[in-house]
Amino acid sequence: MTRRYPTSETVDIVVIGTGAGGSPVLARLAQAGLSVVALEAGRWWSPATEYAQDEVAQAPLYWLDERLSSGSDPTAFGKNNSGCGVGGSTLHYGAFVPRPDPRDLSLRTEFGLGQDWPISYNELIPYFNEVEQFLGVSGSSSYPWDPDRRYPLPPVALNAPAQLMERGCDALGIRTAPAPLATLSQTYAHPAMRSDPHVYSAASVTRDATTAQRRVWT
Ligand SMILES: Cc1cc2nc3c(=O)[nH]c(=O)nc-3n(C[C@H](O)[C@H](O)[C@H](O)COP(=O)(O)OP(=O)(O)OC[C@H]3O[C@@H](n4cnc5c(N)ncnc54)[C@H](O)[C@@H]3O)c2cc1C
């Protein structure tokens, strides 16, 4: 049942947008005991009936308006297919959950470009682990390029294009590993939720839209 609140009610925090950025902030603030409200331009889409199986059928989830930067002389970024609705772009994202390369945080030092981050990769590792556990990420353990890394679930079976790619890389002597995905290879129990495994589509890059693909609304 939808609960309605009077607009005169005072809250501690208003979060604008319920995508990958806004939703975790919203959840954490609420867990901390603050009263929070989210404003979302899109609507609630039903996972059971409105998440589509392919990119064409996903079109209603897209937000295709022109994007402008802020500032006195805004830059026009054009359209992109980010999501519009509760969950934001995670409504139809690829669910690929890579960690950054440690060098991404020190671009100035490594490449003389941009700025270095004031925090190190190692400081972020506990947070990567926490998010991966929360989402139930399926990936290689150990991960070939980072043997200490452990994903909570084994990798999702490779689809046909990935198998072809793997064969090609093997022939060329290029090392590969299944990409870490926020889609469940096994039933995953989590204190906040339980989800059953996901059937990986052999034909679709973005995979079937089932509740086992972890979107931020979970
Ligand atoms: C097709 C696609 C595939 C992707 N695949 C991956 C992937 O595999 N792995 C990965 O890590 N990333 C992926 N991404 C990128 C990832 O989804 C985004 O980086 C991430 O969702 C951005 O989070 P966000 O909170 O900034 O924005 P979003 O998740 O886009 O959320 C923004 C939300 O704000 C709402 N909103 C906007 N303006 C207003 C307003 N004025 N008032 C109220 N609400 C508003 C929107 O409706 C939307 O719900 C993909 C993106 C797309 C589009």
Which residue's CA is the closest to the ligand 1 atom numbered 42?
41
146-to-54, 104, 135 alpha-carbon distances in Å: 33, 15, 20
**What is the mean predicted confidence (pLDDT) over 124-153?**
91
Distance 139 CA to ligand 1 centre (A): 23
- Over residues 165-204, the pLDDT tens digits come to 999 999 999 999 999 999 889 888 876 665 665 544 333 3
d(C-alpha 187, C-alpha 63), whole Å? 32
Instruction: Give the model's pLDDT for residue 206.
Output: 39
The model carries a pTM of 0.83
> What are the start-end ranges of the E strands in 105-192?
188-190
Distance 135 CA to ligand 1 centre (A): 17
> Phi/psi of residue 140, each to 5°?
-75, 130
DSSP 62-97: EE-S-EE-SSSSPPEEE---EE-STTGGGGS---B-
Residue 20, token pair as written in the block: 């990958």
Indicate the residue type of 182: A
Which residue's CA is the closest to the ligand 1 atom numbered 3?
93
80 has pLDDT over 70: yes
Distance 110 CA to ligand 1 centre (A): 29
Mean pLDDT of the chain: 85
Give the helix ranges, DSSP H, for the chain.
Answer: 22-31, 107-111, 121-135, 160-172
What percent of the chain is modeled with pLDDT above 70? Answer: 86
C-alpha neighbours within 13 Å on the C-beta side of residue 112: 0
Q: What is residue 106's three-state secondary structure?
A: strand
Which residue's CA is the closest to the ligand 1 atom numbered 9?
96
8-state DSSP, 140: -
67-to-8, 63, 64, 72, 78 alpha-carbon distances in Å: 31, 10, 9, 15, 6
What percent of the chain is modeled with pLDDT above 90? Answer: 54
Q: What is the dihedral of CA 25, 28, 29, 33, to 10 degrees?
A: 170
Distance 192 CA to ligand 1 centre (A): 23
d(C-alpha 198, C-alpha 156), whole Å? 9
**How many C-beta atoms lie closer than 10 Å to residue 64's C-beta?**
12
d(C-alpha 90, C-alpha 40), whole Å? 14
- Over residues 45-74, the pLDDT tens digits come to 988 888 876 778 888 899 998 988 999 999
216 has pLDDT over 80: no
The pick from 70, 89, 181, 215 for probing ligand 1's pocket by mutation, whose C-beta has the most ligand atoms within 8 angstroms, reads 89
